[in-house]
Structure 1
């Protein structure tokens, strides 16, 4: 396997690798402590957030709902009304989840409720939501995966190997998060 192929399969792209390294170094220097999952005990609903609400966040929502935990999702930079990405639909179907009825939701259509937990995929999402919803608890989903990370690269323009890896991490982290909340 070439170095380029390894990067594409493991990090999604060279940019994905650079961001993975950057944000995980920042984590080890003490950043993102406000999103480490310490304040999740009274969570009543999981709110999955990503950029377009067609890949990562709708899949997290589907995993949560199938596990019996209330959830919704929205996109920070989407127009709303779009179906889930074709690769997301395919992956979900192959793993027992149904996203056929999903339509992307814009951030402005989200109304916070007591007990909401905003689940973000990357630190840029965290920064944006901290400014808009300072009183709503937030976590970085990758903190609950077995291979802990603060950055889960957007799989939209990546190869199938990375796309599947990303979805696997979301599923694993979501189930781990739900278990932690219920303890």
Structure 2
């Protein structure tokens, strides 16, 4: 009985680490999904394609999630950049990001991070964040609410909270990048079909 419980606990731990990164990541995922189904983030899960001139991907360090999202969007004809809320401008992509991105055909070898302090908002920018708290931080910086969206709203399935993979397992890095890859492709397709000027036809 003890062995079975131990094996079950180990299996659940591995599933959590693979799919959500950490137990905290799982909890934040659940809380974010509640925010979604209750309509509390409705203003950050839609867009007006005709107004989108440029995609700006945002995370904390701009060395993993937003760096990869930028790479995917750029490879598919998007007018794009990325930035970090807590980073150093010029920092390279993290080693596991460099190792994981080529599995999706993306090279992050030349990526250099940009701190939000070195970013200037332009009319037509759509800032795509990985977490609800990132959106709130951008509002505090003075970014218009209507210029912010949660990238995970375009993932399949929807994953409003895209937990930071930094320092976590290779398996979760792949899971996180898979979700970001799908979300960016779906977003670009929606924009392309709507004739948005931020995507090359």
Q: TM-score range by the shorter chain?
A: over 0.9
**Corresponding residue for residue 35 of structure 1:** 44
Structure having the larger proportion of residues in helix: 2
Show structure 2 runs of 5+ residues with no match: 1-9, 194-201
CA distance in 1, matches of 2:184, 2:23: 26
Q: In the alignment, does 2:136 pair up with 1:127?
A: yes
**Corresponding residue for residue 22 of structure 2:** 13
**Corresponding residue for residue 122 of structure 2:** 113
Compute the displacement of 1:135 (Å). Answer: 5.7
**Corresponding residue for residue 161 of structure 2:** 151
Secondary structure of the corresponding residue to residue 175 of structure 2: helix
CA distance in 1, matches of 2:47, 2:77: 22
Structure (1 or 2) with the larger CA radius of gyration: 2
CA distance in 2, matches of 1:98, 1:3: 33
**Corresponding residue for residue 95 of structure 2:** 86
CA distance in 2, matches of 1:95, 1:182: 21
* CA deviations over 1:93-118 (Å, ceiling 9, x no partner): 23221211111110011111121110
Residue 175 of structure 2 is aligned with which of 165, 168, 173? 165
1:140/1:150 contact within 8 Å kept: yes
Secondary structure of the corresponding residue to residue 151 of structure 1: coil
* CA deviations over 1:59-101 (Å, ceiling 9, x no partner): 0000011001111000001122210011111112232212111
> Against the structure 1 CA distance between its residues 165 and 39, is the aligned structure 2 distance closer, same or farther, given a 3 Å change threshold?
same
RMSD of equivalent CA atoms: 1.3
* CA deviations over 1:7-32 (Å, ceiling 9, x no partner): 11111001001101111112211111
Q: In the alignment, does 2:68 pair up with 1:59?
A: yes
Show structure 1 runs of 5+ residues with no match: none
